[in-house]
């Protein structure tokens, strides 16, 4: 069964809106709110209609995609090749490039794989130089990592730097290298961010921080590049079963973080917190439209849970997140289970 289109939810709100303004019994306010509501409805309906118009001559519209070894980048490359689009696929390893070439051998689009590490200035510059030989239409920033994850008390600044260097600086690095090519052809820049850039999620701080920053960068350059006829778009997937959240890889990262955690922090949280958190972590485990949206949410959790929560007051949002955490069995630090005694004993402002 297909998911409900979010735009149709506006129409479902009409009866409630009419009842509300009727209750106010103010003719001027009624007309004002009614006009505003109709404008919003018209805007969303026009957006919906325009998004169904597709670009023609796809075989002449080349696309460069990073992170094509696995996951979303790999799937996007194959999808574009199915549409007969020329694809320049940036892969981190030759193994990933070879696997992509094999998987796409029967597809109509032309594939050209490029070995590129988005965390390396030299590697990105070399890829850009290679791409100068071809006319660019689109650039898709997709390469990303989750990196070391767990609670902030157990992480170091280096853990954050490693993730930000790929997920944030990687996006900026690739965009800078290819921006002139995209500007010359009035193309598009598409970045695959995450629904984590809408709402913070405990336990994946470095990843969340990096995606917030990447999304902010895209919001800025969208305004700057519109003067050149370049549009910038953000994809916000929810949680999908990709190699980013491979169970063994996630467990190995968590084990490494816990092993390097200071004993004082381990005592504060307790061994059971780590075991429960480890189990919970592993259990959680339209680019060619003529008039594309600025943002796309991908997945039911992204559309119907995280996006609505992002618009709630912070206090209410935190309360809901806490309730969800309890239902899903989120671990609780050992010191919290002991009540207020530990806080009283360690409070430097305690009055005698």
- Residues 71 and 157 reside in one and the same domain: yes
- Residues 28 and 65 reside in one and the same domain: no
Q: What percent of the chain has pLDDT over 70?
A: 55
Residue 158 lies inside a defined structural domain of this protein: yes
Residue 269 lies inside a defined structural domain of this protein: no
- Residues 137 and 39 reside in one and the same domain: no
Q: What is the pLDDT of residue 288?
A: 37
Q: How far apart are CA 170 and CA 116, in angstroms?
A: 11
Number of domains in the chain: 2
Q: At 293, which CATH number?
A: 3.40.50.720
Residue 341 lies inside a defined structural domain of this protein: no
More confident residue, 67 or 143: 67
Q: What is the pLDDT of residues 272-287, one digit of tens each?
A: 777 776 666 555 444 4
Q: Is 304 a catalytic residue?
A: no
User: What average pLDDT does the segment 53-62 reach?
Assistant: 56
What's the pLDDT band for 2 if we cut at 50, 70, 90?
A: very low
Q: Is the pLDDT of residue 298 over 60?
A: no
Q: What is the pLDDT of residue 284?
A: 46
Q: How far apart are CA 303 and CA 211, in angstroms?
A: 17
> Please, what's the b/e burial string for 139-154 (b: 16 or more CB within 10 A of its CB; e: otherwise)?
bbbbbbbbbbbbbeeb
- Residues 193 and 234 reside in one and the same domain: yes
Phi, then psi, of 89 in degrees rounded to 5: -100, 115
What's the pLDDT band for 344 if we cut at 50, 70, 90?
A: very low
Q: What is the pLDDT of residue 213?
A: 92
Q: What is the pLDDT of residue 217?
A: 92
- Residues 30 and 69 reside in one and the same domain: no
Identified catalytic residue from 138, 151, 207, 296: 207
| Cβ atoms 301, 324 nearer than 8 A | no
Residue 217 lies inside a defined structural domain of this protein: yes
- Residues 107 and 87 reside in one and the same domain: yes
- Residues 123 and 23 reside in one and the same domain: no
Closest-CA residue to 167 (of 105, 215, 115, 113): 215
Token representation of residue 110: 């032309």
List, in sequence order, every residue forming a beta bridge with 88; answer none if it has no partner.
64, 112
- Residues 233 and 189 reside in one and the same domain: yes
**Mean per-residue pLDDT over the chain, rounded:** 72
Residue 270 lies inside a defined structural domain of this protein: no
Q: What is the pLDDT of residue 51?
A: 52
Q: What is the pLDDT of residues 14-40, one digit of tens each?
A: 566 666 656 655 556 666 666 777 777
Residue 114 lies inside a defined structural domain of this protein: yes
Q: What is the pLDDT of residue 291?
A: 40
Residue 129 lies inside a defined structural domain of this protein: yes
Q: Is the pLDDT of residue 265 over 80?
A: yes
Residue 70 lies inside a defined structural domain of this protein: yes
First to last CA, the chain: 64
Q: How far apart are CA 76 and CA 68, in angstroms?
A: 8
Q: What is the pLDDT of residue 100?
A: 92
- Residues 35 and 143 reside in one and the same domain: no
Q: What is the pLDDT of residues 144-156, one digit of tens each?
A: 555 666 778 888 8
Closest-CA residue to 167 (of 142, 200, 138): 142
The region of weakest confidence among 95-104, 163-172, 207-216, 332-341 is 332-341
- Residues 75 and 219 reside in one and the same domain: yes
Q: Is the pLDDT of residue 10 over 60?
A: no
Q: How far apart are CA 195 and CA 210, in angstroms?
A: 12
More confident residue, 81 or 13: 81
Q: How far apart are CA 315 and CA 321, in angstroms?
A: 10
Q: What is the pLDDT of residues 82-97, one digit of tens each?
A: 888 888 888 989 999 9
Q: How far apart are CA 226 and CA 218, in angstroms?
A: 12
The segment with the largest mean pLDDT, out of 129-138, 157-166, 184-193, 234-243, is 157-166
- What residues make up the domain containing 43? 8-49
pTM higher than the cut 0.75: no
- Residues 38 and 180 reside in one and the same domain: no
- Residues 89 and 187 reside in one and the same domain: yes
More confident residue, 170 or 315: 170
């Amino acid at each position: 069964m297909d998911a409900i289109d979010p735009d149709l939810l506006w129409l479902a709100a009409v009866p409630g809106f009419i009842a509300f303004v009727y209750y106010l019994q103010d003719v001027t306010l009624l007309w004002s709110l009614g006009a505003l509501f109709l404008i919003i409805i018209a805007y969303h309906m026009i957006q919906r209609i325009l998004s169904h118009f597709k670009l023609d001559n796809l075989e002449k519209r080349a696309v460069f995609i990073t992170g094509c070894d696995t996951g979303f980048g790999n799937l996007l490359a194959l999808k574009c090749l199915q549409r007969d689009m020329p694809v320049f696929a940036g892969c981190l390893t030759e193994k990933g490039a070879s696997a992509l070439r094999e998987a796409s051998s029967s597809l109509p689009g032309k594939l050209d794989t490029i070995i590129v590490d988005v965390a390396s200035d030299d590697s990105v510059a070399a890829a850009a130089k290679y791409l100068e030989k071809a006319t660019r239409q689109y650039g898709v920033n997709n390469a990303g990592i989750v990196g070391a994850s767990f609670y902030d008390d157990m992480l170091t600044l280096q853990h954050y730097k490693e993730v930000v260097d790929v997920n944030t600086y990687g996006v900026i690095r690739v965009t800078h290298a290819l921006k002139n090519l995209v500007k010359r052809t009035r193309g598009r820049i598409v970045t695959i961010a995450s629904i984590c850039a809408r709402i913070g999620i405990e336990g994946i701080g470095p990843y969340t921080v990096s995606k917030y920053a990447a999304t902010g960068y895209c919001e800025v350059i969208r305004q700057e590049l519109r003067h050149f006829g370049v549009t910038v778009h953000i994809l916000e997937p929810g949680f999908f079963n990709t190699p980013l959240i491979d169970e063994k890889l996630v467990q190995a990262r968590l084990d490494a973080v816990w092993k390097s955690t200071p004993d004082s922090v381990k005592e504060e949280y307790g061994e059971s917190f780590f075991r429960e958190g480890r189990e919970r972590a592993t259990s959680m485990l339209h680019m060619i439209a003529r008039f594309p949206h600025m943002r796309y949410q991908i997945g039911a959790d992204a559309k119907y849970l995280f996006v609505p929560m992002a618009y709630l007051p912070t206090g209410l949002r935190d309360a809901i997140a806490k309730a969800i955490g309890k239902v899903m069995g989120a671990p609780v630090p050992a010191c919290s289970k002991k009540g207020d005694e530990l806080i009283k004993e360690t409070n430097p402002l305690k009055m005698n």
